[in-house]
Amino acid sequence: MIRLSAFISGLVSINIAWMKTSNNQSRFVSLMISGTVVLCCLLLAGGPADGKPVGVIAMQAGGYANHDSGGERIVPLLVFPISTVGMTLSSPELSAVREILSVNLARGGRFSIMAESDIRKRLSEQKVTSWDDCFDDLCRIELGAAIHADVGVVSKILKVSDECSLSVTMYDFRTELTIDASTVDFDCSVKGLKAAVISVAATLRGDAPQPVSQIASQPAAVAGNAPPVVVNPNQARGPRDDGTAVRPSRSGKQPSAPSDPAGHSWVYVPGGTFRMGDPDGQADERPVHDVTLPPFFVTRTEVTVEQYSRCVQAGRCSEPGVEKGCTWVNRKAGMPVNCVTWAQAEQFAAWAGGRLPAESEWEFVARGGSGGFAWASATVAPQCPGAIIRGVTPGCGQNGPALVCSLRADSPTGRPCDLDGNLREWVRDWYSARYEPGSTAPGYVGPKRGSLRSVRGAGWLSFQAATRSAARDAENPDRFFIDVGFRVVVPAQ
């Protein structure tokens, strides 16, 4: 670097001397040549002083970090069909193995998986009739760029004599460089292959993998359930609104995370008692009352378009709206699905093995479990760009929702994301203009009938006041909205 600096300094000195004795045209040419040489020298030197290439996605402990933005984000993955050499597997078996790989890579919220329907559509647009026609790196790179994926995942099963191995490679579509790879050996059985897939996926997520033999000996492990993140009401996260102590659940046992066909990342919420409502809020936030909830799981993110598309492909969900502003139109990976009615949201939740959260459950999560957060997941009022709400312009200037968990305040923590913005969320209850008698009963889900369904949280069209934990809203359940999505809960067993 010292020799490079001396070279650049000498070049600048020669250029200045030349400019003093040359006409305007010569000066311009000299500046252009000098600028080009300096830029080339800097690139050859390897970029910034810390030695990291500018704008390259690199694997770090805890996931991918984009050095352009300086923050973690969910990385869209395109998982290609698995190829085999020497080991014979049927098409359904290969599809099942690929699904296990996709689900396990998505666990933990660091990666999102491209929807199969999007891939088929893009294959058609690229005039590629099947996956088999896209066998070389150039075709895969072009396909990844067309689908707006960041990273491609290529897997190969190799059998030589009686020994088998699984190799999985990740490469960046933008730089065309390999960014991570992992290879494990297994016993050539289908069960051993599934265990190998789970082990490789853990390595690529940045987690500590178990030995393949140990995974294969645990039947439940093949599902790939990752330990859920915990929202713990026992932790001191701030005083309650009335300054009194919270009464947490006495159960210290944490159940396993749900396994669902959509591949959600789950957050475990131990049960407890909290004060629901706001004495200084709107009329429909009163009377303030204590609510006791049993433990449950909640999805870390709002349901994404690729997760919803799996339900559509399974024939269990109808397609969302496709009006202007609906994320189903472009189906970009990592975007929350909007433009769904209440019934569509509930239908998806049932397919995923859960239901929509009750208002009390949603507020309990927003308050951090302890009732300490007057603002959703925060002790102070959020504002752009810390929450995707209406600032000077809708969506903090982007006039629409953002990728789920895209805020740096959410991504590293493992807590539920976007409770204070992005999309408002359908919940289970019928709406009432005032909390009714019986609201304190465990499992209470609002009035038995009504004309509007409750909506919680703030969206990209919402003002700051809507980000309060106790804030309530309501909409016609038969309509869909460009700023309303949902998340799912599952009672803990």
Quote the pLDDT of residue 107: 67
Average pLDDT over residues 51-62: 28
List, for residues 146-173, the tens digit of each pLDDT value. Answer: 666 778 888 999 999 888 999 998 877 7
Quote the pLDDT of residue 42: 39
Closest by alpha carbon to 223, among 181, 268, 257? 257
Quote the pLDDT of residue 142: 67
Give the ranges where 64-188 is alpha helix by DSSP (H): 91-106, 116-125, 137-147
Q: Classify residue 150 by burial, with Cβ atoms within 10 Å: 0-12, 13-18, 19+.
A: buried
Average pLDDT over residues 348-364: 95
Predicted model pTM? 0.55
Place of tokens 């957050």: 267
CA of residue 382 relative to chain centroid, distance = 20
Cis peptide before 287 (omega within 30 of 0): yes
Q: At residue 256, what is the residue type?
A: S
Q: In this prediction, what percent of the chain has a pLDDT beyond 70? A: 65
Quote the pLDDT of residue 450: 93
Q: Which of 20-29, 73-82, 350-359 has the highest mean pLDDT?
A: 350-359
Quote the pLDDT of residue 364: 93
Residue 265: φ, ψ to 5° = -95, 125
pLDDT over 60 at 56, yes or no: no
Beta carbons within 8 Å of 410's beta carbon, 6+ residues apart? 417, 418
Q: In this prediction, what percent of the chain has a pLDDT beyond 90? A: 35
Quote the pLDDT of residue 413: 52
DSSP string, 5-56: HHHHHHHHHHHHHHHHTS-HHHHHHHHHHHHHHHHHHHHHTTSSTT-PPTT-
Mean pLDDT, rounded, of the chain? 75
Quote the pLDDT of residue 124: 65
List, for residues 213-229, the tens digit of each pLDDT value. Answer: 777 665 433 333 334 44
List, for residues 24-47, the tens digit of each pLDDT value. Answer: 444 444 444 444 444 444 344 443
Are the beta carbons of 1 and 45 closer than 8 angstroms? yes
Q: Which of 176-180, 230-234, 270-274 has the highest mean pLDDT?
A: 270-274
Quote the pLDDT of residue 374: 82
